[in-house]
Amino acid sequence: MQRKKHLEQLKKEQFDILVIGGGITGACIAHDAALRGFSVALIERQDFGGFTSSASSKLLHGGIRYLPMGQVWKVRESGREQMIFQQLAPHLVSWKPFLIPTEHGLSLTKGAWALKTAMKLYGLCHFGLKDLLDNPARKPPQGPFLGVEEALAAAPQLNSIERLSGAQVLFESHMHSSERMTLAFLKTAVSNGARMANYVEAEQYLSSAGRIEGVVVRDALTDEQFSLRARLTINSAGPATQALNRSVPGLQLRMKKELTGFARGVHLVTRQVHPEYALALTTRKKTEGFVTRGGRHFFIIPWRGRSLIGTTNVPFKGTFDQVRVTQKDIDDFLVDINEALPDLHLTRQDVHYAYTGLYPLIVRNIEEDKYQGTGEYQLVDHEATDKTPRLITSLGAKFTTARNVAEKTVDLAAQKFSEQKKPCGTVATPLLEGTIADLPAFIEEKQAQYKDLLSAETVEHLIRYHGTEIDRMMNLAVGRPELLQPLSSKLSTLAVEVFYAVQEEMAMHLDDVFFRRTGAGTIGQPDEITLEQAAGLMAAELGWSEDQKHEEKSKVLARYEYGDNDGQRSTE
């Protein structure tokens, strides 16, 4: 994936399908379309997967949250997709046991009987889905209900819940890196002929005689403007979708349900609360549903030696470049967490990193203390709705169903072409890095193969991030043993991962590497030595000056500065 080469092709060729947006929805669309034989182009205004898709709890959840709203079809859809992801990228997903506590008292919905009933309904919704997995080792275990003593033995932290009556164990699928998952779809699309570039923004549609013929784009790295032409354009730009659809004067491009606003979901990466179990807890904040357990949920998930805690609900009215975590976000969330489990005593000093992203709202009245997000996606054929041919809008709602949304989107797109293409193949085709039949056996094989060069732990780290690409990375380090050294004694990330990110994955900025190619920055602020080593490697490849290196390092460090309410910055 060399950006310069891809840009040249984007400028001179006309493609069958142009995908706008390099988040998980756009990535899955590009992958599906390329696999079917379409010529595909994709552009992303920032870095691939760098906005909403990187700001999740990294869950591929089975849809239990839809039961209180009576949406059993969405429970089954989510469960099916959860199983499919296990097949596509086994190195990036694992089954995580969640503990859902129950309570004695007047609230029937928080009681053990209600949760046991919900789990039976959940099991019926998922009936037969495990058969999608050909490897028995990939199938999720059956979670038991634990009595009070068993629950406290499993997670003593639950002791601060006064009326604790037990806890249900529910296994959910969790990603080691959602950013790497998005990138895996994109790289697989490229391996099947797709062309793409990050830091290329669609400024407005190209239109002729009422038809969309592509977009006018601007390269953010060079400020060059050019036209990108395609027989069909798919807008999957996430939160920016609706604004782009209003970019052509005289065209009325409508959504099925107009977006009324956005909310931010804040996540904290803290000291590890529990090394094995994820805890599902409720706050006093409201949530939607016919039958609820009393408030909006948040999760404390063990992740990479830390705890990943999310998420909040904060209405947002600014511009996209103003999306950031504030001191108030952190403090308010810590209050919610410590109210739910007072014995945790989490403080600001326990927060290693915090991040936030947007999700769209379609409600008429936006309420500050109520979760109003929707799991719905929108697929709009603008030829049918607005008499504007050659344009489809695909607005995905969550990571779990992105592949399914892409399948429906490309099915619709295929109807616009007279040529016969292959049917969807994304259910059974592993991603480029994920062709691993037996993950434990593969890890053992590579640990033996590289035992003279790397520790067993380092080999497993490389596989968890890069899957079968470990061999290509090791080939890059032949004759350069310094590339097999970690960036610092506190990190598992190797220098070769930085080199590989630039050479093979279009990493153009230092924060691309720290937050989206390696995740080294997501568990805490790197020190100056680590930043300098990574910046030096990138500077040698990209021709940065000393001033540019300083600017790139400053951009990474700015991620750990949390602004206050009037927009000032603070690291306190």
Model confidence at 571, pLDDT cuts 50, 70, 90, reads very low
Which backbone phi and psi does 123 adopt, to 5 degrees? -65, -40
pLDDT on residue 285: 57
Per DSSP, the three-state class of 296 is coil
CA distance 225 to 245: 19
Residue, of 239 and 277, whose pLDDT is higher: 277
Tell me which of 3.40.50.620, 3.40.50.720, 3.40.50.300, 3.50.50.60 is the CATH number of domain 3-52+179-257+376-414: 3.50.50.60
pLDDT on residue 408: 97
Q: Could you tell me if 281 and 298 are in contact, meaning their C-beta atoms sit under 8 angstroms apart?
A: yes
Burial of residue 322 (CB within 10 Å: 0-12, 13-18, 19+) is: exposed
Q: Could you tell me if 433 and 469 are in contact, meaning their C-beta atoms sit under 8 angstroms apart?
A: yes
For strands 164-175 and 93-103, give the pairing.
antiparallel
Average pLDDT over residues 158-185: 96
Q: Please check whether the domain covering 259-371 is classified as CATH 3.40.50.2000.
A: no
Share of the chain residues as helix, strand and coil, in percent rounded to the nearest 5? 40, 20, 35
pLDDT on residue 306: 97
Angle between helix axes 402-414 and 72-88 (nearest 10 degrees) is 90
| Residue 289 in this model has a pLDDT that exceeds 70 | no
CA distance 405 to 409: 6
Model confidence at 284, pLDDT cuts 50, 70, 90, reads low
Q: Where are the domains of the chain?
A: 3-52+179-257+376-414, 88-175, 259-371, 439-560
Rg, the chain, Cα only: 23
How does pLDDT run across 485-521, given as a tens digit for each residue? Answer: 999 988 999 999 999 999 999 999 999 999 999 999 9
The answer for residues whose C-beta is within 8 angstroms of residue 565's C-beta and 6 or more apart is 326, 328
Model confidence at 570, pLDDT cuts 50, 70, 90, reads very low
Structure tokens at 222: 């060079």
Of 112-121, 183-192, 280-289, 381-390, the one with minimum mean pLDDT is 280-289
Residue % of the chain over a pLDDT of 90 = 77
Q: Which CATH class is domain 439-560?
A: mainly alpha
Residue-averaged pLDDT of the chain:
91
Average pLDDT over residues 216-236: 97
pTM listed for this prediction: 0.94
pLDDT on residue 107: 60
pLDDT on residue 567: 40
**Paired strand residues for 215:** 205, 228
Q: Could you tell me if 340 and 312 are in contact, meaning their C-beta atoms sit under 8 angstroms apart?
A: no
| Residue 281 in this model has a pLDDT that exceeds 80 | yes
| Residue 294 in this model has a pLDDT that exceeds 80 | no
| Residue 568 in this model has a pLDDT that exceeds 60 | no
Average pLDDT over residues 279-306: 74
pLDDT on residue 48: 97
| Residue 137 in this model has a pLDDT that exceeds 80 | yes
Residue, of 61 and 315, whose pLDDT is higher: 61
Distance from chain centroid for Cα 311:
14
| Residue 326 in this model has a pLDDT that exceeds 90 | yes
| Residue 91 in this model has a pLDDT that exceeds 60 | yes
| Residue 17 in this model has a pLDDT that exceeds 50 | yes
User: Does the N-terminal peptide bond of residue 393 adopt cis geometry, omega within 30 degrees of 0?
Assistant: no
Average pLDDT over residues 450-474: 97
The residue assigned the tokens 């904290």 is 268
| Residue 61 in this model has a pLDDT that exceeds 70 | yes
CA distance 53 to 179: 7
The DSSP-derived string for 201-262 is EEEEEEEETTEEEEEEEEETTT--EEEEEEEEEEE--GGGHHHHHT-STT-----SS---EE
